[in-house]
Each structure stands twice: as structure tokens, then as C-alpha cells.
């Protein structure tokens, strides 16, 4: 009876939620759809109904699976359905765009003719390549990682919170690969659709299978590291022992990873997935042979009264063993010893155990070639041997933050720390955590000329540290380790917060034309210059316009007798303090000259608006000034009533072009309300050049009015 009552309550909640979504002509449903559609480009208003239909179908099919016991509200569950539905519809559309379409005449049922479209794949997997006999494109493609099976296995359904968290941690390209894989799209089609070469595709897939990403699906990826307010203390112990030695099996490590009782995410520790395929393969080979390996190093720290075990050395051994157990990679062919000898029970021709005269099984020696094999491909005996293998470990007790940083730097024997990885150990836990959080922002994943490998080897962390220094402490520029030490001793939390805000602002305005200037070599220059630009009072898009002109011509413009190209030609060193300061001063002078010298840079926002409108609208500035209050008030009213909250049209850098549209509406006695609402809903990207952005909006407005008049 109780179960029936609960089911009745759930059904009631579902019906109420559906009614809420579809009331007022489905206003709330459309709003939720627009939020997800805004993540993609190229969706026009004429396509909206297709997305609404797809979402409605998915909701009707999935509502019966809602389980409140999972701790998620009904509306959160519906949001997940909508997100997935929009992704699927977008994938279907892109699949059609990828293929060659040939139109031909077909026959109707009544004998008439009709136009039929045939979709022909552009590139066959059997396409011959190279000079080797019989080698095809399919032979060069990496083996598919069964990601969708992994997601469904762990999540139970596609709307699971862990899946959402997994997807949110990926770059745009990686999310697109996941979506296409879930649609059972072959690897060669994915490469063709996304314009990826084989090596680029392999790197992106490797990122999907990394320990940090995949572990989210198994419940161990929600670790947040140290947070502000965590109470870190020492234990009161009755023993003088400060280090103990013991053994731990791989099976136990796997269990502890998934129960969060062993941590690999200390802010000072380098990332996982540092080893090459041959290093990982040799690790598995050594484990299966029972070879002795270096001990793991753990440190115990008391946080909020709970003993936390940090892995200080051995992260690569533990995480690569874990990933192999999860079938995350195949053993490469390039390993030292690949034939593994083991004992197994002798079988007869029918597959039954062979017993001696006393009924005991007979053992025989066998060999197994582990090259190209995943964990699930191993014989049962070797799978058991793998899980039973035990590492020696040393565990330091009652550690302070300084102790942990000291030991992390000491222990890294699997692969020496790179300079960026070693440098960040000098930052201290709090600032290292902030640097890693900034490094994980979508700006670095989806924009700029950063390589996938640079996220693993600590390079992006270096980029952030250099950016913070260039923006705030350029006169203290030095080696990375010294800069990290300086930040630890003299930096402030507000400095990192301001830098994070700068990155967010740049993310909104950076265009493809200038994106590659943000790379691991030169990013600090542009971050530092943007910090100086913010003091001028110009809108952010103006900075991007300057960068675009720098790419096209300004790099060769002489200021004070020399150009940026001249400075580059003076030395091969790009990070020497003298060269860095010289470059920054040159760029600063060049930028201010571009913006119209210092005097104009100090103009108020009102002055800038008047100057822009006078030039763009070709009106007298004095006469314009009398009506500026009316124009600003009208724009504020329009923004509050016609533009949905969260629309990028409301961002500060679009204000000038919006004001120009308001002036245009008064000059021509036209109403902007309905058009502006539609425009904000259907456009998610805008031009940095505000004059060009105004012309684009004006053109759209004229087309919109023409359609309304015809109707």
C-alpha cells in the first residue's frame, strides 16, 4: 500500500511538472531549451521547433524512470533530459552536414516521381593510404573506447549526475566526440566531422580515458581538494614514530580509490597520466611477473578531524593500475617482457578440469602474450595475480602542509617532474589550488593554441603563474620556481580572483582571429597587457580588435624606433626578464597609441558612448548629448523587458552597438521590442568590433521587419 501511495505521489509530481513546463504556451520549456541551445552555434529560429519536438519526445519517454531516492529533484532530472536531447538533435544535424548529399528521382507509391536524397559518406574506412601494401585508413585508426557502455554501466541512465559532471569536465571537442560515440559513429567519421587528424583524435580520446575524467564515473571523481575553511591540524599521538611501513594490494587500492579514502589530488601534486604507453606497459608486465617495485609514499594529514591519506609518490603507478583494471588502455607492443608464464589447471578436450587418482587437479605451466591486451583479455589466473599484487608503502604520520610539499618534491621517481610541475610545489597549498582551478577553466580547454599534453605536464599551470606575475608583479619576473616562491610569500587571494575574472572576460570576447596568440609561450604577454588595458576604460572588445590588428600589421609597426618584430630578432630567449619587460612596454605603448593615446583612454564611459554614436550614426556630438539620457534610459528598459537574463547580448562589450540601435529606432520611429527579444534568443555570438556589430544587428532588424510586413 505504501509503495502504491509513493508511486501515486510521484505521478502527481510528474503531472504538475509537465503542466508547469507547458503552461503559457510552453514558456518555461522553451526557456530551458534555449539555455542548452545557447551552448551551440548555428541554430537559427526556424530550427527551434525541431529541438522542441525532440525534447518533448525524450521527456515523455524518460519521465517514467524518475527515481527521487537518488537525491535529485524532478526539475533537475528534467534539466538533464533537456540537455541530452539538445545534444542528440545537434549531433543528428551535424551528421547530415558531414555527408555528401546526392539528389535523384524516386518512385511514389502511386507510380509518380519524387525527389530522393542519398547521403554518401565522404571518406571510406577502406581508403588505401601510404605505400605499404593493403594498408587502409581503418588500419591507422585507434581502437574505440567503449565510453557509452562505461557511462551506462556506472550511471544507470543517461541523465545521471555523474555523467553530467563527467561531461562538464571535458573540452568542447571532447564533448562532441562523446556525443558522436554515443550515437555509434565510427572513428573516421568523427575525425572527418571535427576536422581532426589521427594524432589529434588520439590525443583527445586519451583525454577522455584519463584517470581524472573516467574516475568521475566511478564515484571517486568528486573530490574537491582542500577548500577554504577546512580545518587542518596535527594529531596528538602517544608514539615517537613518524613513518610506518606496510604492504597494500592493488585490489585494496582500487577499493580505497572508489571509497575516497586515498587521495591523489593534492594541489602540489602533478597530474595523472604522465607516463608513456611503454612505461605503462612495462608497469603491468612487472606486476604480472611479481617483480618488486619502488614503494609507494603516503602522508597522513588530519582534516576536519578525519585522517586523510595523500599519495605523495606512486600516483602514476596507482592510477595507471586502476585505469588498466577499468580496461582504460591496451598494453603496447613496445615493452621489455611480454610473454608471462603462469600456472593453470589442466583441461581435457571437453574443457573439464583434469584430476589425478586422488581427485586433485593437475597444474600445468602456460604462457600468455600480453601485448595488445586489456585487463579483461587476460586469463583469469593473471587477472587474479594482478589484483593480488602488493606494493610496499611508507606512510608519514602527522604531516603539516610544509611536510607534504617537501616530500612531494623529493619523491618522483617514475618520471622526473617537469619544470612547471616542480615550480608549483613552491606555491603553497592554497595558491596551488587556485592556480589549478584557473587552469581548468574552459578558456584554456576550448580557446587558444594550447596542446592536450600541456594539461598533463603542468604547462598550463605555468601559463597561469606567468600571467598572474605579468599582470601584477612584472618587476619581480624571474625563473618559475622563484616566481612561485614570491607569490607564496607576497601574493594575495584577491590577485588570483582578479586574474580569474580577467580570463572569464577574455573568454567572452576572444575570436578565432586572435585565439592562437594565447599559447604556452606568449600568453603571459597578453594577460599582462589586458590587465593594463582594463585601466583605460574601453570595452573589452576593443582589446580584441587591437590584437587582431597586431596579427595583421601592428607587429611590424615601429614605436620609439623599434617594432615588436625587431625585439623578437634580438635574442632566442623568450623568458629573460629584460626581454619580457621590453616586450611588455612596447606592447603597452603600441596599444595606447592604437586606442588614441592616453588622454582618450582616460575618457569617461559617457564620453566614449557619445564619441562612438557620433561617429557611427554620423550625427553632431553636441546635439546628440541632449538626448543621451533618453537613449540610455530606453536601452535599460529594453534590456530589462526584452532580453532574457543570461543572454550574451547584455554583456558590457555590446552596449555601444545596442545604444546605436536605440538611436536608429528614434531616428526612424520604429519599435525594437519584439525584434530584440528574438535576436537575443537566436544569437549567441557577437562581433568584438561594435560598429560592425551594429551594422549586423541593423541588417537583421531590417530583414525581420520586411518579413513582418509581408505577413
User: Do residues 654 and 676 share a domain?
Assistant: yes
Neighbours of 228 (CB within 10 A): 8
Structure-derived torsion over alpha carbons of residues 247, 249, 255, 257, reported in degrees to the nearest 10: 70
Residues 264 and 385 in one domain: yes
Q: What is the pLDDT, as a whole number, of residue 231?
A: 44
The three-point CA angle 207-209-215 to 5° equals: 115
Q: Which domain holds residue 639?
A: 605-710
Q: Which of 580, 601, 622 is the last residue of a domain?
A: 601
Same structural domain, 237 and 327: yes
Choose among 313, 513, 280: nearest CA to 395.
Answer: 313
3-state SS of 144-192 is: CCCHHHHHHHHHCCCCCHHHHHHHHCCCHHHHHHHHHHHCCCCHHHHHH
Determine the 3-state secondary structure of 393 from DSSP.
strand
User: Burial letters for 620-641: b for 16+ Cβ neighbours within 10 Å, e otherwise?
Assistant: eeeebeeebeebeebbeebbee
Q: How far apart are CA 362 and CA 355, in angstroms?
A: 6
- pLDDT given for residue 391 in this prediction: 92
C-alpha cell recorded at residue 447: 580557446
Residues of the chain with pLDDT under 50: 1-2, 5-6, 9, 95-102, 119-145, 147-148, 152-159, 220-240, 413-415, 597-602
Determine the Cα–Cα distance for residues 613 and 621; give it in Å rounded to an integer. Answer: 8
Q: Is 424 within the bounds of a domain?
A: no
Whether 138 is covered by a domain: the verdict is yes
Domain end residue (candidates: 167, 192, 208): 208
Of 410, 428, 463, which residue constitutes the final position of a domain?
410
**Does residue 71 fall inside a structural domain?**
yes
CA distances from 137 to 53, 97, 198, 333 (A): 38, 22, 10, 20
- Residue 707 region by backbone torsions, left for phi larger than 0, else alpha for psi between -120 and 50, else beta: alpha
Domain annotation covers residue 309 = yes
Q: Which residues contact 243 (CB under 8 A, 6 or more apart)?
A: 394, 395, 396, 397
- Which three cell numbers, joined as nine digits, stand for 543? 582589446
Which grid cell sits at 599?
Answer: 588622454
Q: Is residue 471 part of a domain?
A: no
Instruction: Tell me, yes or no, whether 322 and 398 share the same domain.
Output: yes
Parallel, antiparallel, or unpaired for β 243-249 and 390-396?
Answer: antiparallel
Please check whether residue 218 lies inside any domain of the structure: no
- Cell (9 digits) for 547: 590584437
Sign of CA dihedral 331, 167, 55, 160: positive
Are 290 and 364 within one domain? yes
Question: Residue 123's pLDDT is what?
Answer: 41
**Residue ranges of the alpha helices (H) in 185-336?**
187-194, 198-208, 211-217, 250-258, 277-289, 315-325
Distance CA 154, CA 187 (A): 23
- Give the residue among 418, 420, 397 at the shortest CA–CA distance from 407: 397
User: Measured at the alpha carbon of residue 451, what is the angle toward residues 445 and 452, in degrees to the nearest 5?
Assistant: 70
Helices (H) and strands (E) in the chain, counts: 33, 10
Rounded to the nearest angstrom, the gap between the alpha carbon of residue 639 and the centroid of all alpha carbons in its chain is 31
* Cα 433 from Cα 427, distance rounded (Å): 9
Question: Residue 190's CB: how many other CB atoms inside 10 A?
Answer: 22
Q: What torsion, rounded to 10 degrees, do the Cα atoms 493, 495, 501, 507 define? A: -120
> What's 362's DSSP letter?
P
The number of residues in the chain equals 711
Q: What is the pLDDT of residue 466?
A: 92
Q: Would you state the pLDDT for residue 179?
A: 73
Cα distance between residue 312 and residue 315, in whole Å? 7
On whether the pTM is more than 0.75, the answer is: no
Domain match, 249 and 352 both: yes
Predicted local distance difference test score (pLDDT) of residue 373: 92
The answer to whether residue 68 sits within a structural domain is yes
Q: What is the pLDDT of residue 273?
A: 53
d(CA 667, CA 651): 25
Position 451 scores a pLDDT of 80
Helices 198-208 & 187-194 angle (0-180, nearest 10): 110
Q: How much is the CA Rg of the chain, to the nearest whole Å? A: 30
- Nearest to 679, CA basis, from 641, 647, 640, 636: 647
pLDDT number for residue 424: 66
Residues 584 and 624 in one domain: no
Give the number of other CB atoms < 10 A from CB of residue 197: 9
Are 93 and 191 part of one and the same domain? no
Could you tell me if 624 and 683 lie in one domain? yes
Do 279 and 154 lie in one domain? The reply is: no
Is 219 a member of any domain?
no
CA-closest candidate to residue 137, choices 121, 125, 148: 125
Question: Within this chain, do residues 236 and 314 fall inside the same structural domain, yes or no?
Answer: yes
Does residue 428 contact residue 405 with C-beta atoms inside 8 Å? Answer: yes
Integer Cα distance of 347 and 364 in angstroms: 9
pLDDT score of 233: 41
The total of structural domains in the chain comes to 5
**C-alpha dist (Å) from residue 71 to 85, 166, 526:** 22, 18, 44
Residues 395 and 268 occupy one common structural domain:
yes
212-227 pLDDT, tens digit each: 666 666 554 444 444 4
Check residue 415 and give its pLDDT.
45
Amino acid at each position: 500500500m505504501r509503495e502504491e501511495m509513493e508511486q501515486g505521489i510521484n505521478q502527481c509530481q510528474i503531472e504538475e511538472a509537465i503542466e508547469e513546463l507547458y503552461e503559457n504556451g510552453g514558456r518555461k520549456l522553451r526557456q530551458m531549451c534555449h539555455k542548452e541551445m545557447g551552448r551551440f552555434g548555428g541554430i537559427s529560429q526556424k530550427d527551434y521547433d525541431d529541438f522542441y519536438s525532440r525534447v518533448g519526445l525524450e521527456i515523455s519517454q524518460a519521465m517514467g524512470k524518475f527515481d527521487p531516492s537518488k537525491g535529485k529533484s524532478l526539475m533537475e532530472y528534467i534539466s538533464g533530459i533537456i540537455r541530452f536531447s539538445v545534444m542528440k538533435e545537434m549531433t543528428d544535424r551535424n551528421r547530415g552536414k558531414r555527408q555528401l548529399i546526392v539528389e535523384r528521382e524516386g518512385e511514389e507509391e502511386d507510380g509518380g516521381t519524387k525527389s530522393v536524397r542519398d547521403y554518401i559518406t565522404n571518406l571510406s574506412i577502406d581508403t588505401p593510404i601510404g605505400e605499404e601494401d593493403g594498408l587502409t585508413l581503418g588500419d591507422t585508426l585507434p581502437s574505440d573506447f567503449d565510453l557509452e557502455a562505461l557511462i551506462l554501466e556506472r550511471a544507470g541512465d543517461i541523465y545521471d549526475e555523474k555523467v553530467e559532471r563527467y561531461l562538464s569536465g571535458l573540452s568542447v571537442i571532447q564533448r562532441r566526440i562523446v556525443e558522436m560515440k554515443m550515437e555509434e559513429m565510427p572513428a573516421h567519421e568523427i575525425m572527418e566531422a571535427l576536422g581532426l587528424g589521427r594524432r589529434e583524435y588520439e590525443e583527445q580520446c586519451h583525454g577522455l580515458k584519463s584517470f581524472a575524467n573516467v574516475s568521475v564515473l566511478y564515484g571517486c571523481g568528486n573530490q574537491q581538494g582542500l577548500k577554504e575553511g577546512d580545518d587542518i591540524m596535527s594529531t596528538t599521538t602517544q608514539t615517537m614514530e613518524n613513518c610506518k611501513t606496510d604492504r597494500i594490494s592493488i585490489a585494496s587500492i582500487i577499493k580505497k580509490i572508489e571509497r575516497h579514502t586515498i587521495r591523489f589530488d593534492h594541489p602540489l601534486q602533478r597530474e595523472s597520466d604522465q607516463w608513456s604507453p611503454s612505461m605503462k606497459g612495462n608497469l603491468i608486465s612487472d606486476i604480472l611477473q611479481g617483480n618488486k617495485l619502488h614503494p609507494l609514499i603516503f602522508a597522513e594529514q588530519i582534516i576536519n578531524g578525519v585522517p586523510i591519506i595523500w599519495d605523495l609518490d606512486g600516483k602514476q603507478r596507482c592510477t595507471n593500475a586502476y585505469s588498466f583494471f577499468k580496461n582504460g588502455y591496451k598494453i603496447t607492443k613496445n615493452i621489455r617482457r611480454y610473454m608471462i608464464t603462469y600456472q593453470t589447471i589442466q583441461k581435457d578436450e571437453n574443457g573439464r578440469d583434469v584430476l589425478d587418482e586422488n581427485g586433485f587437479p593437475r597444474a600445468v605451466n602456460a604462457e600468455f602474450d600480453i601485448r595488445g591486451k586489456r585487463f579483461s583479455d587476460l586469463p583469469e589466473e593473471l587477472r587474479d595475480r594482478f589484483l593480488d599484487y602488493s606494493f610496499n608503502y611508507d606512510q608519514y604520520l602527522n604531516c603539516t602542509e610544509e611536510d607534504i610539499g617537501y616530500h612531494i618534491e623529493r619523491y618522483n621517481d617514475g618520471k622526473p617532474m617537469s619544470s612547471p610541475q616542480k615550480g608549483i610545489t613552491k606555491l603553497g597549498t592554497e595558491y596551488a589550488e587556485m592556480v589549478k582551478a584557473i587552469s581548468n577553466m574552459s578558456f584554456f580547454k576550448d580557446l587558444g593554441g594550447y596542446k592536450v599534453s600541456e594539461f598533463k605536464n603542468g604547462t598550463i599551470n605555468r601559463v597561469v603563474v606567468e600571467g598572474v606575475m605579468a599582470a601584477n608583479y612584472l618587476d619581480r619576473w624571474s625563473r618559475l620556481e622563484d616566481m612561485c616562491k614570491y607569490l607564496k610569500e607576497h601574493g594575495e587571494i584577491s590577485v588570483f580572483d582578479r586574474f580569474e575574472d580577467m580570463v572569464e572576460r577574455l573568454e567572452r570576447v576572444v575570436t578565432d582571429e586572435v585565439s592562437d596568440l594565447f599559447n604556452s609561450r606568449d600568453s603571459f604577454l597578453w594577460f599582462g597587457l589586458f590587465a593594463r588595458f582594463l585601466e583605460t576604460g574601453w570595452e573589452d572588445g576593443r582589446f580584441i580588435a587591437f590584437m587582431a590588428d597586431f596579427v595583421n600589421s601592428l607587429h611590424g609597426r615601429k614605436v620609439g624606433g623599434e617594432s615588436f618584430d625587431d625585439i623578437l630578432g634580438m635574442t632566442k630567449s623568450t623568458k629573460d626578464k629584460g626581454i619580457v619587460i621590453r616586450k611588455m612596454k612596447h606592447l603597452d605603448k603600441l596599444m595606447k597609441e592604437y586606442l588614441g593615446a592616453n588622454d582618450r583612454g582616460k575618457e569617461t564611459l559617457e564620453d566614449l558612448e557619445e564619441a562612438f554614436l557620433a561617429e557611427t550614426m554620423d550625427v553632431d556630438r553636441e546635439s546628440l548629448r541632449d538626448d543621451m539620457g533618453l537613449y540610455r534610459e530606453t536601452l535599460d528598459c529594453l534590456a530589462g523587458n526584452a532580453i532574457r537574463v543570461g543572454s550574451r547580448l547584455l554583456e558590457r562589450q555590446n552596449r555601444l552597438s545596442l545604444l546605436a540601435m536605440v538611436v536608429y529606432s528614434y531616428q526612424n520611429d520604429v519599435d525594437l521590442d519584439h525584434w530584440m527579444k528574438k535576436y537575443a534568443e537566436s544569437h549567441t555570438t557577437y562581433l568584438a568590433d561594435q560598429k560592425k556589430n551594429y551594422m549586423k544587428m541593423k541588417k537583421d532588424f531590417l530583414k525581420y521587419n520586411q518579413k513582418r510586413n509581408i505577413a
